[in-house]
Amino acid sequence: MISEKLQNQIGDLRGSLLKLKMSHVKGNAVLNDVCASLNAIFSDSVKQVIYTNNTDKMFYGMVVMPIIPGKDIINILMNNEQYIITQVYLELDSKLFDEMLDLSIDEVTALVLREVGHMVSDASPMQRVKADIDDYLYKENTTIKISDCVHYIELLSFGVRDAIRKTISIFEAEKGSQIDQFDIDCEIDSDLRCAMNKIDNNGYNYNSDIDNKLIFLSWVLRLYCNVLKYRIQSLHTLKKGIELTGSELEKKEMKNIIIRLERIDDDSLLTESSFLDSIAQTFKDNSKKMKIQGIQRYEDDFYQLQFEVNNLETSDDAILILHSINSRMSVLDDFLTSEELDKKSYDKWNALKTKYNELRNSVSKNKVYQNKTRLYVNYGADD
C-alpha cells in the first residue's frame, strides 16, 4: 500500500493535470504546476513539461526524453557500471485530453506517473538498451567506433536516448506486457488498463504489434559507423521524420542532428583539420603509450572471459559477458585504426581482436544466450 504522503502527492499531480485539461491557454504557469507536482514525487527529475497542440499528426501520447550529457555517452556504453537517468523532459500530446478518447483524469495521471517513474526509478532503462546494442554489434559484426565520438557524439546520444524512451514506454509495449510490478506497487495498474483499452479501441496504439524500439537505434548505429556513406540519405530521412512526427521534442532532436550532419563536409570526414592535427601531435606518443598499457591486460582478460563462456549458466551472465567482449573489441579496434603500428604490433593486437570476435560468436551461439527472455542485467563494477 502506498504511503499517505505519496497519495497526497499523486493527488496534487492529478489536480495540476485537471487544471491543464480545463485551461483554454496551456501556458507556462499551469505546465510549471504539473512539473512541480512530478518533481515532488520523483526528486526533481523533470526539467520541463511541454504541451503540444497535436491537431494533424498521429497520436503519440507523451514523450519522456532522458537527459544524458553527450560527453558521457561513450563512457556509459563502454563500462559495466549502473547508470540511472536523473533528469527528463516530458511532452504531453494534446490528444491525451481529446473528448473522443475520453480518458479520465485518473487515467491520464496514471499514464504520466507510469512513464516518468519507469524512466527514473532504477538503472534498467539504460541497461536494457546497452544489452540491445551488444546484441546488434554481434549481429552486424562491428564495434562502437570510439575515435568517431568527437564528431558524432550527439548522433549516438540521440539514438541511445530515443531507444531508452521507446523501451520503457507503455505506448510502445506489446499487448500483455504493458503493466508491471512498479505499476501495481503504485496502485495505478487498474487505471492504466482502462486507459490502454480506450487507446486501443480508438486505434491509437498502432505500435503495439511492431518492435519499433530499436529500428531508429539500428539506423543511428549504421550512420554513426559510416557517416560518409550514409550522410546524404540520412538527411533526407530525418527531414521526412520531422514532417511525420507530432512531437516537438522529436522535431527539435532531429533538427539538431540535421545541423550537425550538414556541418560535416566530405573533406572533414576524410581528413582532420591541420589545426587539430597540430594539437593531436603534441600528445600522440603519450596517448599511444597509455593505450598500450590499457590493452595489455586484455590478453589476460581473454582467458578469464573464455573460462566464463565455457561455464555459462544464465542468460544474464551471457549478456554481461557479451558486453565485456564488445567493450574490449571497441578499444582494440580504435587502437588498430588510430595508431601508427609496425607490422609485428599490428598483427599481435589484430590477432587478439580476432580471438575476441570468435569468443563473441561462441557466446551468441550458446543456448543460454539464445534462450534469453529479458534484457535486464545487473551490471557490476567494471574490472
pLDDT tens, residue by residue, 283-328: 345 455 556 767 888 888 888 888 888 888 888 788 888 888 988 8
C-alpha 137/C-alpha 143 separation (Å) is 6
Q: Does 113 score more than 90 pLDDT?
A: yes
317-366 confidence digits (pLDDT tens): 888 888 889 888 888 888 888 788 889 989 999 999 999 999 998 888 87
Q: Does 76 score more than 70 pLDDT?
A: yes
Which among 302, 362, 311, 306 is positioned nearest to 331, based on CA atoms? 302
Q: What is the CA radius of gyration of the chain?
A: 23
C-alpha 56/C-alpha 134 separation (Å) is 38
152-199 confidence digits (pLDDT tens): 788 888 899 999 999 899 988 776 667 888 899 889 999 999 999 999
Helix (H, G, I), strand (E, B) or coil at 62: strand
Phi, psi of 186 (to 5 degrees): -85, 0
- Which region holds residue 141: left if phi is over 0, alpha if psi is between -120 and 50, else beta? left
Q: Does 54 score more than 90 pLDDT?
A: yes
Percent of the chain with pLDDT strictly greater than 90: 42
pLDDT, mean over the chain: 83
C-alpha 243/C-alpha 4 separation (Å) is 45
- Which region holds residue 266: left if phi is over 0, alpha if psi is between -120 and 50, else beta? alpha
